[in-house]
Every structure is written in C-alpha cells, then in structure tokens.
C-alpha cells in the first residue's frame, strides 16, 4: 500500500465532493505530495476547499470534459456519489482508480503516514450504528484505551488519524454502506453487522448490492453478527472474517453474547463472563440491549476486560435525535427520533410505545413501508405526514390502517391535488396546504396537527422512516425543528 501512495507524489488527484469528508482528504493528500483538485456544484463548499490549498472545478464542467479526467492518477470520492454517477462512470471508463475517503484513510493508516497503525473496530448495519459506536468508545475509555469515535458518526477518519494530542490508538469507526462500497481494502480488527433492512436501495440498485457492501465489515480478524436479525443473522457463511461470533437477546450459545436473566453474558470470548446488568444499558429496551451486546463483542475482540464493558455501558448516554424526549404538553409526551431515517429504525421507536401519533415522511430512498404500517397500526392514534414521499406512506396507511386519521402537510404547488376521500366509514386523509413552506415551517404545522390528534397519556413521535434532505439540511435540523415546534406549543398553552 505504501508504493501505491508513493505513486501519488507529484501527480494530480481529484476529490469528488466538497463536503466534510471531501475537505478532510485535502491536507493528507497534500502531505503525500499530490496536487489536489476538488469538484462539486456547491460554490461555497468549493471556496472552503480552495482556502485549504486545493484547485477547484465545477462538477458539471468536469463531467462534460472527459479528456480532463485522464489527467488524474486517482479519484477520491465522497460517499454520496453512487457507482453510476456520471463523473465516476467516466473516470472508470478512463481507467482512473476510484477510492472512497475510507479506502484512502485505511491505506494511509497501514502505511503509517501518521504514526503506528491503529486498531479499527468497525460498526455497520441499517440501524443502531451511532449508538453502538458511541458505546464502543465509552467502553474503550473505561478500559483506559486511547480511542476516538469517527467515520459516519461525524468526525472523518482522516481527521482522527491526524490528531496527535491526544493520539487515538483504537478507532471506533461507524461506516455506512456507501463508505464500505468504496473501501474494499479495509480489514478491521473486528467488525459488526448489526442488522440489515431495506435502505438506500436507490443508491445500491437493489438489496443484494446493499448486503454485499455491508459484508465489507466482516473481512478482518473477528466478525460479529446480529443473530436476531433475519438477514444479518444469515450471513455466517458469507463472512470473510477469520473468526465470526454472534449476539442475541436470548440466552447465548457457545460463540455468542446474549442475555441470561437480567445479565449481559459473553460466551464467545470467555466460558461465561458477566458483562453488565440489563438496567445498566442506555437506551433501554431491545434495540439498546442489542447495540450494547454488539459493542461489547467488538471490545472483547481486542481483549477489553469485563469490568470495562460494565463501566463503559453504565456511563454511556444516548445522543440527540435518537428517541430523545423533548417535552410534555397537556399530558402528551413528545419524542424526537429524527435519526430514524428508514422504516426499520422507525419500527423500533413505534413498538416501544403503546399509543402514538406518528409524524413521518421525507425521502424513502426506495424502501417500502407497508410491512411497517401493518405491524404498528394497532398502536396508532393518528399520523401526520410531510416531505416528498408522504403520499406513499399515506397510501400504506389507507391500505393497512384505515381506522387511523391521517393528515398530509402538502408544501407543493400542485393545486390539482385534492383531499383524499373514502367511500367507507374510515377517516379520510386530510390535506393541509402550505405551498412553498420550508422544512421548519412545515414541521410547525405537523406538530400542531399531531397535537390535535393526541390525547393525554399518548406520545407524539417524530420517527420519519425516511431521510430528511428533501426539506432539511440533515436529520439534526429536522429534530431541532420538531423540538422548537413543541416548545411553541408549550408556550401557547393547551392545544385541545
């Protein structure tokens, strides 16, 4: 790998994407002696890259100039670019190698450009990645290991590698399927596939490609599988790890971690070691316990003692926008789970509560919601939908939960759309027209409508089951908009 990096000295490298991960590549590539060009459509982001010493070029201009691509020795792509993106297709056609930022990070680390190579503990899955990654970091800190949580969690791995005060010897790395797709060389000390459900199918072109990307976490010394998940649990024969173990919410067999009574138990890295009590785990409930077992497995794979697992899990606290309470108004609880960006994640939140008014919608990314709606229908007191794919969710509710009143906050300018009606006695879908409203404004309308549907003792739950980028900068802005709208309710007094 050192030779491949050496060949970049004095050569031109193209960075596709001027966002956080793209910007993080500029200084390391410059340290390698490469001449860096960044391409994007965002002029402001390109200006930030230029301030770091990179040449910049508009994406559309570059795509239209195939000959220019042949000048580059390498393309380093941000994870948002799918394989069939015109820029990458043209680069591949010109025989230019394509690495993701994680591939570059791995090669730089193995070449010890920034000191001795780190130990990588990789977390992937459709849901629970961030919680598991922060749990791993908490456990490592409790063990006295110098570590950092990085990757898809927010801190680019390259930035983590360049830190030397303090230096991190162990990386808890959250990786998305996008990042894994573009990182074929990664061989972690341990990696986990938590679960797999339909997500990002538009990017990958189908579920099998999505699964294949996730398998990139199971290529190192130890692979860990979520056995309770039907797809992830069935990947044992496809794991390329030297040793593969599993975790389950049931009693663990040999080679597994699981739960015995009120205890988290390890029978994979010990005969039968008690790791923690169920009550030690935050967030509580099945999803939190699964994440804790996964985190414990990764830590135990690099010989972290049971006592550190116990202490780390006790100290761990859930991050914002992950089933976080934001207030109570007139006896109704308001919960922000904006991080539930796909149906699988929303399912966990919905099933954790008895009676819910559900706020959902956004970009479904090719995922289907029929199975989710059919399962949670008995718990729904109402649903308020917004975002580009709100209509798909409304149709699923009409099919599988016809008794549930549904409100769609429509921000489009399509005046041809009319309120849905029903020929039965079931509640119709009500359309609230707010043409041109931005995300925060639409969220205020959604929260107000949800409040009108909710009764004391129930929960208004933001669990969108969809991505946020159609209306918000990210899921965090969506969650903040929800919390702000709830605060307005609180200040406005009773809503019933």
Task: Assign residue 484 the CATH number of its domain.
Answer: 3.90.190.20
Residue ranges of the annotated binding site for ATP are 125-131
CB 125 within 8 A of CB 195: yes
Same domain, 295 and 157: yes
450 and 342: one domain? yes
Rg of the Cα trace of the chain? Answer: 24
Residue 18 falls inside a structural domain: yes
**Do residue 98 and residue 192 come from a single domain?**
no
In the listed set 260, 286, 315, which residue is the last one of a domain according to the structure? 315
Q: Is the pTM of this model over 0.75?
A: yes
Residue 67 has a pLDDT of 83
Q: How many domains does the chain have?
A: 3
Q: For position 63, which CATH number holds?
A: 3.40.50.720
How high does pLDDT run on average in the chain?
A: 92
pLDDT in tens, 76-98: 999 989 989 999 999 999 999 99
Query: Does one domain contain both 249 and 391?
Result: no
Q: Are residues 331 and 308 in the same domain?
A: no
* Same domain flag for 270 and 220: yes
- 85 located within any domain: yes
* Residue 219 domain-assigned (yes or no): yes
Distance CA 98, CA 182 (A): 8
Please check whether residues 67 and 132 belong to one and the same domain: no
Q: What is the dihedral sign for C-alpha 225, 230, 236, 241?
A: negative
Which residue in this structure is represented by tokens 């919905």?
Answer: 350
Same domain, 455 and 353: yes
Q: Are residues 126 and 244 in the same domain?
A: yes
Q: Which of 290, 315, 340 is the last residue of a domain?
A: 315
Angle at 443 between CA 422 and CA 361, to 5 degrees: 55
Low-confidence ranges of the chain (pLDDT < 70): 1, 199-201, 204, 413-427, 492-496
Domain residues for the domain of 66 are: 1-102
CATH number for the domain harbouring residue 254? 3.40.1190.10
Residue 113: inside a domain, yes or no? no
**What is the pLDDT, as a whole number, of residue 33?**
97
pLDDT score of 421: 39
Residues 139 and 227 both lie in one domain: yes
Same domain, 147 and 278: yes
CA distance 63 to 43: 16
Annotated binding site: 125-131
Structure tokens at 147: 């570590």
Per-residue pLDDT tens for 249-300?
999 999 999 999 999 999 999 999 999 999 999 888 888 999 999 999 999 9
Would 34 be classed as within a structural domain?
yes
Choose the final residue of a domain: 270, 289, 315: 315
User: Is residue 112 assigned to a domain?
Assistant: no
| 485 within domain boundaries | yes
pLDDT of amino acid 149: 96
Residue 196 lies in a domain: yes
The answer on 299 and 150 residing in a single domain is yes
């Amino acid at each position: 790998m050192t030779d491949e990096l050496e060949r970049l000295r004095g050569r031109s490298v193209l960075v596709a994407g001027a966002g956080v991960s793209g910007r993080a590549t500029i200084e390391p590539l410059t340290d390698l002696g490469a001449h860096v060009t960044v391409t994007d459509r965002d002029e402001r982001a390109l200006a930030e890259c230029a301030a770091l010493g990179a040449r910049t070029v508009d994406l559309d201009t570059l795509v239209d100039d195939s000959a220019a691509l042949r000048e580059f020795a390498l393309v380093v792509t941000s994870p948002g670019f799918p394989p069939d993106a015109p820029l990458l297709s043209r680069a591949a056609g010109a025989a230019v190698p394509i690495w993701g930022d994680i591939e570059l990070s791995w090669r730089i680390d193995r070449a010890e450009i920034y000191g001795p190579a780190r130990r990588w503990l990789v977390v992937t899955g459709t849901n629970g990645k961030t919680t598991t990654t922060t749990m791993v970091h908490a456990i490592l800190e409790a063990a006295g290991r110098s570590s950092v949580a990085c990757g898809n969690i927010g801190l680019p791995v390259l930035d983590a590698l360049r830190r030397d005060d303090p230096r991190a010897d162990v990386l808890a790395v959250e990786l998305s399927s996008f990042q894994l797709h573009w990182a074929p060389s990664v061989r972690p000390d341990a990696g986990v596939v938590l679960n797999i459900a339909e997500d990002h199918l538009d990017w990958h072109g189908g579920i099998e490609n999505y699964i294949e990307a996730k398998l990139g976490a199971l290529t190192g010394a130890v692979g860990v599988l979520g056995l309770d998940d039907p797809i992830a649990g069935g990947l044992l024969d496809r794991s390329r790890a030297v040793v593969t173990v599993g975790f389950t919410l049931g009693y663990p067999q040999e080679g597994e971690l699981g739960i015995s009574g009120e205890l988290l138990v390890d029978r994979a890295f010990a005969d039968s070691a008690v790791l923690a009590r169920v009550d030690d785990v935050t967030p509580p409930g099945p999803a939190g316990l699964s994440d804790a077992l996964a985190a414990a497995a990764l830590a135990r794979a690099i010989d972290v003692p049971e006592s550190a697992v116990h202490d780390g899990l006790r100290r761990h606290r859930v991050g914002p926008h992950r089933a976080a309470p934001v207030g109570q108004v007139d006896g109704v609880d308001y919960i922000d789970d904006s991080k539930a960006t796909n149906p699988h994640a929303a399912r966990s939140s919905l099933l954790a509560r008895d009676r819910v008014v559900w706020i959902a919608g956004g970009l479904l990314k090719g995922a289907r919601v029929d199975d989710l709606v059919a399962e949670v229908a008995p718990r729904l007191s109402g649903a308020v939908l917004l975002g580009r794919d709100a209509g798909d969710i409304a149709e699923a509710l009409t099919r599988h939960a016809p008794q549930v009143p549904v409100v769609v906050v429509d921000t489009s300018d399509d005046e041809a759309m009319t309120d849905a009606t029903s020929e039965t006695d079931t509640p119709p879908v009500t359309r609230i027209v707010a043409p041109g409203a931005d995300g925060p404004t639409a969220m205020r309308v959604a929260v107000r409508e949800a409040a009108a549907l909710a009764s004391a003792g129930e929960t208004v739950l933001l669990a969108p089951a969809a991505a946020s980028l159609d209306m918000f900068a990210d899921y965090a802005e969506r969650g903040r908009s929800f919390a702000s709208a709830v605060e307005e309710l609180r200040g406005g007094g009773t809503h019933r």
